[in-house]
Structure 1
Amino acid sequence: MPGTVRPIPGPLRIASNPIVDRREELARAVVAIQFERWPALYARYGEAGRERCVEDVGFHLLYLAEAVASDSPALFREYVAWVKILFAGIGIPDEELGESLEILRDVVVARVDPATAARTHACVEEGLSALPGLPREAPPFVRPDAPLGALARSYMDALLAGDRRRAAALVTEATAAGATVPDLYLHVFQPALREIGRLWQTRAITVAHEHFATAATQAIMGQLYPAIFAAERRGLSMVATCVGGEQHEIGIRMVADFFEMAGWDSHYLGANTPASSIVHALRERNAQILAVSATITAHVGRVAALVAAVRAEPWERPPQVLVGGYPFNLVPDLWRTVGADAFAPGAQEAVAIAERLIGPAVPDRAAGVA
């Protein structure tokens, strides 16, 4: 359906991905069948709408391609869950989504090699089987019974009203009243931004609201830096980055700040940093840890490519690679697939796992440690 899926760049794969390589061809074949099967689509959207449908199906194919490449049907199931909520917000019935997925499956299976076809069938069937039981709305992330829940609500309301001064004042007042930086990160910033993302998904707010909230929160985080950088240095160094194309950098920035509060020297590179520059930063900073974030499943391949680039370098003591983000929380062993040394489900856990990775004895496996 036109204009329903947020655009994302294509993933980078170490090897050729047949679904990505033929994405436009596959998308046009899917849309041709949709418009033939449902003539009302053309009457509703016209030729311009057809092109937007091709673009949207192309995004579906990117997510499918990552699930297929990772052999992780759960990744595609969770994408279907996300799309179901998105479609519910704009009035598209579940039946239409289900039929679209069936067309997608049949078109791809008929046009790719047998191994890719088998994985495609498994991934789409996982989504189709789960579809009837998936929720049509996501539960709220800001709850009054949560720690600092009232503050998180007030903070979010200030952001949605476009009042950055009020949001900053709330944080200042909370700090003066004894709230710690970890408390503010985990119980105010994180749930507020997740809730704003949920509101965008349901079309209750615009992407402009979401972008303002993120930018304002990043600025407000800056006012906490005197406390963040107050910890005694321990001679430990890490580099934090997210893969190219990520629109959600704030999570990995929070991770870097947690390392700072634990006495590490953190070097936050943000997104769209070339692999060669990341390698240079690792060498220049003598970093023991590289923390990499991906927040959407379509970027798993980019993580794999970055890890491979780091592994290909000659190191006297190679940095340990720690990954995190939404897709890695969905599939517990996905970090192994991309070649990482460990994954962390959150910022606090990332520090503890990193210190185990570089310690004299690494456990066989603890919270995602190889």
Structure 2
Amino acid sequence: MSFGVASTAAEALRTQQASLAQSLVERQFALSPQLAERYGAAGRIKCLEDANFHLSFLAEAVDLGHPEMFADYIAWVKVMLTARGIPPADLVNYLTLLCDVLLEALPAEAGTAAARVVDQSLRELPNMPLEVASFLDPQAPLTPLAHEYLALLQRGERQLACQRILDAAAAGSSVRDIYLGVFQPTQREVGRLWQMNHISVAQEHYFTATTQWVMSRLYPQVFTEGKDIATLVATCVSGNLHELGIRMLADLFEIRGWKTFFLGSNTPTAAVLEMVAQQGAQVLAISATLMPQVTTAQSLIAKLRTDRRFDHVRVLVGGHPFNLSPGLWRKIGADGHARDADEAIELAERLIGVDS
């Protein structure tokens, strides 16, 4: 698929997303009348929301020229639906219907380009797993603590969960080890538990909020004097509400000896650039958790590159889309990509010439 065709197809998907979603749901309910009986009007509204979500992921994969990103998303959907009693055959029918709608509703080249990406996922679907393995590595030294911490959260024992972490820190576990050995894997595990239908959205939010609170109890060991290596601004792009990972990264830069400014979730582009300028940051770290946020990160980087005040600033990106597609970071104009905080710190210091 040429760049021009991909760009045109992505633009068509975005501008016609609402009508495409409506057509998809209408056909879905027409072909399966039992859906209306089973789920009613509320179910139809939810299907429309889902259709818009699927189309936004598809548009991003088409625009960036990375069909494997949409296939990865469909693999996630397959696990999520299977855990809720919806068989893979229903997903096959849905994606086939989506191809039909795209070919009929979009201009010829655009429809063909978009349908080709969906068709690739359809062909890979039979080999996609029905479940996801635990993210808690039985060989990792802090996994027993991670299991205990997560079990306490599931029982609603927030204070006791916090105390277990504070006790581990007092016994000699570093904040870095607790972040990477307990918080990071348990947050991934929480996402898996929701995907597998073992916990609710409310529980997922409670677990995340509790971990943020426990992290704050460790801050006396994070924020100390003598931060003089360099300055980092760390942010989620506009639209990204998943802030815990980039917050942990900022904290670990702080522990390393950097001066950090963590901007939180859903930060507008103008506000990010203003903070980078005000603080004279040498490095900007950007988190894009979901595929539709990649072009938002690309836009932020493009605006930074056009301003001479930021000629010295190096940009690191992180998040699942970049882990999935090697080289994607380069395509959107970043200076590098890191899978974890240790890798990010090493890369950032190399990019700005910090002596080890």
TM-score band by shorter chain is: over 0.9
- Deviation string for 1:336-366 (max 9, x for gaps)? 22211111111111011111111289xxxxx
| Whole-angstrom CA distance in 2 between matches of 1:115 and 1:146 | 50
TM-score, normalization by structure 2 = 0.93
State which of 34, 39, 63 in structure 2 corresponds to 1:69. 63
Aligned residue in 2 for 1:32: 26
State which of 180, 185, 193 in structure 2 corresponds to 1:186. 180
Alpha carbons 2:237, 2:269 under 8 Å: kept = no
1:359 match: secondary structure? coil
Aligned residue in 2 for 1:229: 223
Alpha carbons 1:76, 1:126 under 8 Å: kept = no
Structure 1 position 231, deviation (Å): 6.7
| Whole-angstrom CA distance in 1 between matches of 2:187 and 2:314 | 29
Give the direction of change, closer, same or farther, for the CA distance of 1:134–1:28 in structure 2 (3 Å limit): same
| One-letter amino acid of the counterpart of residue 46, structure 1 | G
Higher relative contact order (CA 8 A, sep 6+): 1
1:26 match: secondary structure? helix
Task: After TM superposition, list the pairs within 5 Å mapping 1:81-96 onto structure 2.
Answer: 81-96=75-90
Aligned residue in 1 for 2:279: 285
Give the direction of change, closer, same or farther, for the CA distance of 1:143–1:341 in structure 2 (3 Å limit): closer
| One-letter amino acid of the counterpart of residue 281, structure 1 | M
Alpha carbons 1:259, 1:266 under 8 Å: kept = yes
- Deviation string for 1:300-348 (max 9, x for gaps)? 1211121122122222633111100011000011112221111111111
List structure 1 runs of 4+ shifted beyond 6 angstroms: none
| Whole-angstrom CA distance in 1 between matches of 2:259 and 2:32 | 58
Aligned residue in 1 for 2:319: 325
What stretches of structure 1 of length at least 5 have no aligned partner? 1-12, 362-370
Aligned residue in 2 for 1:246: 240
Give the direction of change, closer, same or farther, for the CA distance of 1:151–1:235 in structure 2 (3 Å limit): closer
| Whole-angstrom CA distance in 2 between matches of 1:123 and 1:132 | 16
Structure 1 position 172, deviation (Å): 1.1
Aligned residue in 2 for 1:218: 212
| Whole-angstrom CA distance in 2 between matches of 1:329 and 1:320 | 19
1:241 match: secondary structure? strand
Alpha carbons 1:148, 1:188 under 8 Å: kept = yes
| One-letter amino acid of the counterpart of residue 113, structure 2 | R
State which of 184, 196, 201 in structure 2 corresponds to 1:202. 196
Task: After TM superposition, list the pairs within 5 Å mapping 1:1-370 onto structure 2.
Answer: 17-230=11-224, 232-315=226-309, 317-359=311-353
| Whole-angstrom CA distance in 2 between matches of 1:316 and 1:218 | 31
Alpha carbons 1:238, 1:289 under 8 Å: kept = yes
- Deviation string for 1:213-234 (max 9, x for gaps)? 1111111111222222247423
- Deviation string for 1:173-224 (max 9, x for gaps)? 1112211111101110011111111111121111111111111111111122
Give the direction of change, closer, same or farther, for the CA distance of 1:360–1:45 in structure 2 (3 Å limit): closer
| Whole-angstrom CA distance in 2 between matches of 1:85 and 1:200 | 11
| Whole-angstrom CA distance in 2 between matches of 1:48 and 1:268 | 39
What stretches of structure 2 of length at least 5 have no aligned partner? 1-6
| One-letter amino acid of the counterpart of residue 81, structure 2 | F
> Greater shift after overlay, 43-52 or 97-106?
43-52
| Whole-angstrom CA distance in 2 between matches of 1:316 and 1:280 | 11
| One-letter amino acid of the counterpart of residue 169, structure 2 | T
Structure 1 position 16, deviation (Å): 7.5
| Whole-angstrom CA distance in 2 between matches of 1:113 and 1:289 | 42
Structure 1 position 285, deviation (Å): 0.7
Q: How many residues align?
A: 348
Aligned residue in 2 for 1:365: none
Structure 1 position 114, deviation (Å): 4.3
Cα root mean square deviation, aligned: 1.9
Structure 1 position 50, deviation (Å): 2.3
**Percent of aligned pairs with the same amino acid:** 43
